[in-house]
Structure formats: C-alpha cells, structure tokens
C-alpha cells in the first residue's frame, strides 16, 4: 500500500483546468517534493489530497482511504502544515497545541506528552504560556509545524516549511524533518527552495500548468539535462561590461552573475575554460577560481517549466 496514490486527477474551476489528469504515488516513508511555478496547481493538489476540495475527476487515496469517500479516516493519519502560519494568536502556545490535539482526538495523557515533547523540540516550551501574538514569525512557523505533528502523523504535508525564516528556525525545522524521515514518516513537501528539495527529497515531481512535467529522483532528473552544464568563475577585478563580454566567449549559451562569481552555461565546458583563460589574459585580470558544475535541480526546473532566469536566479517560483 502506498502512502499517497493519485490517479488521473482533474480539477476544473469553471472553464479553467487547474489540474489536468495527473497521476503519481508516494511510498510509505518516502520524502516527496512537489515543485512548480506560481499557479501550476500545487496548492490545488494539496487541497484535494487533504480533503478540503473535491476533485472534478480521478481519485486520490491516503494509506488506502479514498479522500472523498473516507475523508475522516484518511485525514486521521495526516499532519498538515499549511503555507501560512495558521495559529490562533489570541491563544497561548500550549492552548494551540491542545486544540489541535483535540481536533485529532489525541488522548489526554498522550496529548500532554506529545505537546511537551514537541514544544521542547521546537524550542518553544519556555514560551508555552505566552499568547502567540507575541511570537516572532519563526516561532509561529515552528508552532504551526508542532501542531501538525501533535497527532503523530504517518504522513506530513509540509507547504513551504522554511520560507522566509531566520536561520535558527530553519535549522530546527530541517532537523525535525530529518528526524521524521528517519522515523519512517512520509513527507509531502512543497517548497520555493529547490536546493532544499534536492537535499531532502527522495523524489520530486515538477508540476507546470496542471501537468506533471517530470517525476523522479533529483539526481536522475539532473542526468536528463546533462547538456546544461556550467562553469563558475571569479576574477580578481570586475567591470560593468564583464558579464556581456563573457557572454561573447564561444560555446557560452548563457551567463549570469552570482555574487562575486559568474556562471556560464555551456555544452562544452573545456572549450569555455579555454575561452575564459584567454579573456583573462586579454583583459589583464586573473582567474581566482574556476569550477565545472553539472546541472542543478534548479536547472531542471527552469528547463521543464520554461521559466526565464533574471539576474541571479529563477523568477516566479512558488
């Protein structure tokens, strides 16, 4: 039995087709990333999988329970962490945990034990009696995730868990996700942070315009676009025209500035390295570092979704 089984799922809003015949499955204990640009259908898919919104066609099961016909049973094994930190700011941290546990009908002793452990794990225990409106953004996010775990779920939906957070919260949350994976919890993750998905996920699906554009392990996806290799180079001096000049080196398909470095995309790295060396000689500058890079998951994402890179990164990823 799979943790999630999605078959020919379709969701229409009037004439708009938000999800168009998608199928995939997520194994028990797997960490599955769900990536896509704005409006690709990620949130709609999550709303269907969590039983908030019914599909127009197709089926979705959670541990064998049909999400439409056996909604309550399917949800009982889930923890849901939505993109917004949807905590009750007029309640204390402890009251929020208790409320979430009661909704999932966690027994009183287990409720207290789980809440205590989770609040300690997320470094919120000392503030448990404080109303949440005094919490920072990172603390609210941590509390949201703690509330999603209070019923000890077998499957956790994590929607943008670390987006825009401070370093401390990021580290705590990533450690907790890592521990959950070790404990065999299935994680369904959507994130802006493609590198995060690359590091955490066993497999990722890239959804675009309501279709699954690709679904595989991150490393296997990267192999599908080996033609997109790149050279990362930095010089001891820079000028405003340097990026344009580097773009003119033979075999360079594209270039962008990344901090004090340049990234040059090519199908022939050795040819470009020679070109870079010649450029340095000609412009009386020195190469401080030069590295050949394979395609990143972000490159796969950009190629499959047809997004345009602007400046130092990918735009409009949601």
Partner 1 sequence: MGLQDRLSRELVAAWAIAKKDVAIYYLRPGTIMGGVLFPLFMFLAFTAGNLSTPAALIPGLISITTLFSASSIEPVSIPIERRTGTFDRLLSAPISLNALVLGESLSGLLYSVCIASVVFVAALIILRTPIVSIVPIVLGVLLSSFCFATMASLFAAYPTESPGDIISMVNLVRFPLIFISGVFIPLAVLPSFGQMIAYVSPLTYANDLIQGGYHGKTVLNPFIDLAMLIVFILIFQVVANYLYKRFND
Structure tokens that stand for 164 in this block: 């825009």
Q: Which is nearer to partner 1, 99 or 243 (CB)?
A: 99
Does the protein bind partner 1 through residue 238 (CB under 8 A)? no
Nearest CA-CA partner of 40 in 307, 220, 299: 307
Distance, in Å, from the CA atom of 310 to the CA atom of 102, rounded to the nearest integer, reads 47
Piece of 94-102, 119-127, 167-175, 242-250 that binds partner 1 (CB under 8 A) = 94-102
Least CB distance to partner 1 at residue 114 (A)? 16
Least CB distance to partner 1 at residue 26 (A)? 18
Does the protein bind partner 1 through residue 88 (CB under 8 A)? yes
Least CB distance to partner 1 at residue 98 (A)? 8
Does the protein bind partner 1 through residue 76 (CB under 8 A)? yes
Distance, in Å, from the CA atom of 294 to the CA atom of 231, rounded to the nearest integer, reads 9
Burial category of 109 from C-beta neighbours within 10 Å (exposed 0-12, middle 13-18, buried 19 and up): exposed
Cβ-Cβ contacts under 8 Å for 193 (sequence gap 6 or more): 162, 163
Least CB distance to partner 1 at residue 146 (A)? 13
Does the protein bind partner 1 through residue 72 (CB under 8 A)? yes
x-or-dash string of contact with partner 1, 124-163, rule CB under 8 A: -----------------------x----------------
* CB of 29 closer than 8 Å to CB of 184: yes
Does the protein bind partner 1 through residue 114 (CB under 8 A)? no
Tell me which residues in 46-65 interact with partner 1 (CB under 8 A). 50-54
DSSP-based helix, strand, coil % in the chain, nearest 5: 35, 30, 35
**Helix spans in 28-90 (H):** 42-49, 71-76
Judged by the rule CB under 8 A, the positions of this chain that interact with partner 1 are 50-54, 71-73, 75-76, 78, 80, 82, 84-91, 95, 99-100, 102-105, 147
């Amino acid at each position: 039995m799979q943790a999630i089984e999605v078959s020919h799922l379709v969701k229409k809003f009037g004439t708009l087709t938000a999800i168009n015949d998608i199928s995939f499955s997520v194994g028990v204990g797997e960490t599955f990333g769900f990536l896509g640009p704005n409006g690709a259908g990620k949130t709609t898919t999550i709303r269907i999988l969590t039983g908030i919104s019914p599909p127009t066609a197709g089926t979705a099961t959670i541990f064998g329970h049909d999400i439409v016909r056996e909604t309550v049973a399917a949800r009982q094994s889930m923890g849901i962490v939505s993109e917004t930190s949807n905590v009750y700011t007029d309640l204390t941290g402890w009251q929020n945990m208790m409320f979430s546990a009661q909704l999932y009908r966690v027994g009183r002793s287990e409720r207290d034990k789980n809440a205590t452990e989770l609040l300690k794990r997320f470094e919120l225990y000392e503030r448990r009696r404080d109303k949440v409106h005094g919490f920072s953004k990172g603390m609210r996010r941590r509390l949201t995730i703690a509330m999603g775990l209070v019923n000890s779920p077998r499957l956790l939906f994590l929607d943008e868990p670390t987006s825009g957070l401070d370093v401390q919260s990021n580290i705590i949350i990533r450690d907790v996700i890592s521990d959950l994976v070790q404990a065999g919890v299935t994680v369904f993750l959507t994130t802006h942070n493609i590198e995060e998905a690359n590091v955490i996920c066993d497999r990722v699906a890239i959804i675009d315009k309501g279709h699954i554009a690709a679904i595989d392990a991150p490393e296997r996806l990267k192999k599908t676009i080996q033609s997109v290799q790149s050279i990362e180079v930095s010089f001891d001096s820079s000028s405003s025209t340097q990026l344009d000049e580097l773009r003119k080196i033979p075999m360079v398909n594209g270039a962008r500035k990344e901090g004090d470095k340049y990234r040059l995309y090519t199908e022939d790295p050795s040819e470009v390295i020679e070109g870079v060396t010649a450029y340095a000689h000609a412009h009386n500058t020195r190469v401080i570092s030069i590295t050949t890079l394979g395609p990143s998951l972000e490159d796969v994402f950009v190629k499959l979704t047809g997004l345009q890179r602007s400046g130092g990164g990918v735009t409009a990823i949601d």
